[in-house]
């Protein structure tokens, strides 16, 4: 598993840098901003739900490990279904028998600034309590992304 992810990661990095040097017109540049939240979700498996306010919904990724605060660290982030904006403040218990049953607590929240966005790469800066600075989400296969902490 790790070996395969590493191979994907290498491909993604190539893609990432290839894209960085692509024609400026191909990227949608934006100075837009919004809110983000990271909900620590103790379900069947502990994970962290990373959600960005984008396109009037919460774009969401499930991250199996704590999110990176140091540059050079990357995490697998599996994109899951969009959530309604109102979910951004949710903390509490999801009852047994319901999807995601377990406890949810807000691990970090704040605002973000969108730097650039394509189908495959979303770059942004975070301004939260725990997470600050430059990050990138890089899609490498299906719903699988890498969340990368960059040097600010």
Residues that bind Mn ion (CB under 5 A): 41, 49
Least Å from the CB of residue 39 to Mn ion: 7
CB of 93 to Mn ion, least distance (A): 13
CB 49 within 8 A of CB 60: yes
Please measure the distance between the N-terminal and C-terminal CA atoms of the chain and give it in whole angstroms.
Answer: 30
41 or 109: whose CB is closer to Mn ion? 41
Contacts of 47 (CB under 8 A, 6+ apart): 41, 62, 63, 64
Closer CB to Mn ion, 16 or 51, in the complex: 51
Closer residue to Mn ion, CB minimum distance, 99 or 119: 99
State the Cα torsion 11-14-19-23 to the nearest 10°: -130
CB of 109 to Mn ion, least distance (A): 15
Number of other residues whose CB lies within 10 A of the CB of residue 113: 15
Closest contact distance (angstroms) between CB of 62 and Mn ion is 5
Identify which of residues 68 and 100 has a Cβ nearer to Mn ion in the complex.
100
Angstrom distance (rounded) from CA 110 to CA 96: 30
Residue of minimal Cβ distance to Mn ion: 41
């Amino acid at each position: 598993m790790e070996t395969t992810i590493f191979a994907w990661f290498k491909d993604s990095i190539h893609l990432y840098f290839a894209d960085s040097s692509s024609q400026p017109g191909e990227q949608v540049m934006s100075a837009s901003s919004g809110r983000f939240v990271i909900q620590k979700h103790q379900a069947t498996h502990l994970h962290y739900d990373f959600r960005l306010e984008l396109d009037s919904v919460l774009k969401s990724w499930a991250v199996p490990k704590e999110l990176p605060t140091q540059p050079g660290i990357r995490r697998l982030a599996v994109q899951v279904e969009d959530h309604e904006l109102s979910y951004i403040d949710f903390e509490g218990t999801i009852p047994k028998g319901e999807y995601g049953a377990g406890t949810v607590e807000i691990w970090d929240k704040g605002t973000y600034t969108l730097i650039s966005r394509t189908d495959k790469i979303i770059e942004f800066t975070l301004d939260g309590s725990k997470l600050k600075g430059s990050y990138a989400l890089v899609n490498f296969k299906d719903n699988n992304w890498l969340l990368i902490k960059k040097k600010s």
